[in-house]
Amino acid sequence: MSKSSLSYVHPSPTSPWGTYLSQVDRVIPYLGHLARWSETLKRPKRALIVDVPIEMDNGTIAHYEGYRVQHNMSRGPGKGGVRFHPDVTLEEVMALSAWMTVKCAAVNLPYGGAKGGIRVDPKKLSRNELEKVTRRYTSEIGLIIGPHSDIPAPDVNTNGQIMAWMMDTYSMNTGATATGVVTGKPIHLGGSLGRVKATGRGVFVTGREAARRMGLDLRGARVAVQGFGNVGSVAAELFAEAGAKVVAVQDHTGTLVNDKGFDMPALMAFSKDQGGIMGFKDGEQIDNDAFWDVKCDILIPAALEGQITAERARKISARLVLEGANGPTVPEADDILAERGVLVVPDVICNAGGVTVSYFEWVQDFSSFFWTEDEINQRLDRIMVGAFDHIWAKGEQHKISLRTATYAVACERILIAREERGLYP
């Protein structure tokens, strides 16, 4: 791993920012003359740390730490979600923002990369407290976000309601309703049809394309999914609809297996109702660690970073790994999977469906003209397939992994923009 040249983070080789730095180092040999700009990719443009104080329902005052990092805006405004999680750190948000830069360029959207987060467990807040945290955070980062500068969206533990509060707060502070300041909003507030399922759909589309090239028939293929939220549940549902069997599911409540394949609509309804999969009757509970031993053809990590460690990579039986989550595979594990002939579709293309439909939402908000769900899904499919084809060809050309190929395509676009714009002043 290259050493961080920044004084304010101290990444380890397996931490999110350390993982990102290694991924950048691997692409430098393929950047030609643009390599002289590569340090740009290893530094966020701007990082804002904010205090988020609120009065709790019981009258006490709580303080939460919040962040908004704008990694790179060479190709357009910053774009990236907001995560509410008690373990969020500045370093993690930096990595997530950098992955957004790469992802937006990989699918050729006119955006840079950004990300935000608050160190809070929203499950421990009342609705009133959650709204206060969201609004105060939005006001604090209001200095740097905006429809033309940086556009947040949902991520782990944030949703359409939180986006509605963010949009309202920003609009109140600026004196005009600005629907384009966030994406992932409810439909009647300028949200887009198809946005909620877009990330999972993109995971399915890239998985389908990869499987076709590998000669892996989706009908009867065994799928294991870690994380059964917005991304994991939708991706699993689409694979099941295509004839695959979802044989293992893990979420924060535990791990369930079903050799015949889960009834997906029933499991999704149960999980939505109960806040997790545990207790679903048509599944056998196994140890969380045993999830990585389950026999499967396709593995979808769709929870958090750093889940596929070197040790787990040695035992994964899947032929195809689809990174629904951001940063689920540490660099050493990536090498082990490659040596074992496991194809990894990297996060920066695999889960780009969400930001692609966020882009559609933003465009629709500016024109106040809304598309049908079919139009959205068709355009999403077209963009994802086009991007995947391009990246696949790059990988074949240089005999490199899909991850390095995606970084090569994306970093070239980012650094060409940087070079053409020139350094200010």
Name which position in 302, 320, 383, 387 contacts ligand NAD (CB under 6 A).
302
**DSSP classification of residue 277:** S
Q: What mask of x and - would describe binding to ligand NAD in positions 253 to 292, judged by CB under 6 A?
A: ----------------------------------------
Residue 226 in the binding site for ligand NAD (CB under 6 A): yes
Candidate segments 32-40, 125-133, 244-252, 311-319, binder of ligand NAD by CB under 6 A: 244-252
| Member of 112, 346, 354, 395 binding ligand NAD (CB under 6 A) | 354
Q: Coil, strand or helix: which one is 62?
A: strand
Contact 98, 41 (CB under 8 A): yes
Of 155 and 365, the one with the shorter C-beta distance to ligand NAD is 155
Determine which helix (DSSP H) or strand (DSSP E) holds 18, and give its type and residue range.
helix 16-27
Q: Out of 252, 379, 390, 418, which residue is the one contacting ligand NAD (CB under 6 A)?
A: 252
CB of residue 238 to ligand NAD, shortest distance in Å: 14
Choose between 133 and 325: whose C-beta lies nearer to ligand NAD: 325
Q: Is the dihedral of CA 80, 83, 89, 92 positive or negative?
A: negative
Tell which positions 30-49 bind ligand NAD, by CB under 6 A. Answer: none
Chain residue whose CB lies nearest ligand NAD: 229
Q: If binding is defined by CB under 6 A, does position 251 make contact with ligand NAD?
A: yes
Indicate which residue of 79, 103, 115, 197 is catalytic.
115
Whether residue 3 lies in the annotated active site:
no
Rounded distance between C-alpha atoms, residue 52 and residue 48, angstroms: 12
Token pair, residue 264, equals 């997906």
Q: Is 68 helix (H, G, I), strand (E, B) or coil?
A: strand
Distance CA 15, CA 331 (A): 10
> Looking at 166, 225, 304, 417, which residue binds ligand NAD (CB under 6 A)?
304
Query: What is the pattern of x (binds ligand NAD, CB under 6 A) and - over residues 55-94?
Result: ----------------------------------------
CB 264 within 8 A of CB 246: yes
- CB nearer to ligand NAD: pick between 69 and 231: 231
Q: Quick one: which of 105, 156, 247, 387 contacts ligand NAD (CB under 6 A)?
A: 156
Judged by CB, which is closer to ligand NAD: 199, or 377? 199
- The rounded distance, in Å, linking the Cα atoms of 292 and 248 is 10
Q: Which two tokens stand for residue 65?
A: 């730490």
* Residue appearing with tokens 């500068």: 149
Residue 324 beta carbon to ligand NAD: minimum distance, rounded to whole angstroms: 5
Q: How many residues does the chain have?
A: 425
CB of 390 to ligand NAD, least distance (A): 20
Report CA torsion sign: 406, 212, 241, 319: negative
The reply to whether 324 sits near ligand NAD by the rule CB under 6 A is yes
Q: Which of 151, 256, 303, 321 binds ligand NAD (CB under 6 A)?
A: 303
Which candidate, 12, 8, 2, 5, places its Cα nearest to that of 330?
A: 12
Span of 44-52, 321-329, 372-380, 387-395 interacting with ligand NAD by CB under 6 A: 321-329
Largest CA distance in the chain: 64
Residue 229 as a binder of ligand NAD (CB under 6 A): the answer is yes
Among 199, 329, 377, 406, which residue interacts with ligand NAD (rule: CB under 6 A)?
Answer: 199
Provide the b/e sequence for 128-154 (b: ≥16 CB within 10 Å). ebbbbbbbbbbbbbbebbbbebbbbbb
Instruction: Using CB under 6 A, count the residues that bind ligand NAD.
Output: 23
The Cα–Cα gap between 173 and 168 comes to 9
DSSP 388-424: HHHHHHHHHHHT--HHHHHHHHHHHHHHHHHHHH---
Taking CB under 6 A as the criterion, the residue among 224, 325, 330, 414 binding ligand NAD is: 325
CA pair distance 175, 192, nearest whole angstrom: 24
Which residues belong to the active site? Answer: 115
Chain positions contacting ligand NAD, by CB under 6 A: 154-157, 199, 226-232, 250-252, 302-304, 324-326, 351, 354
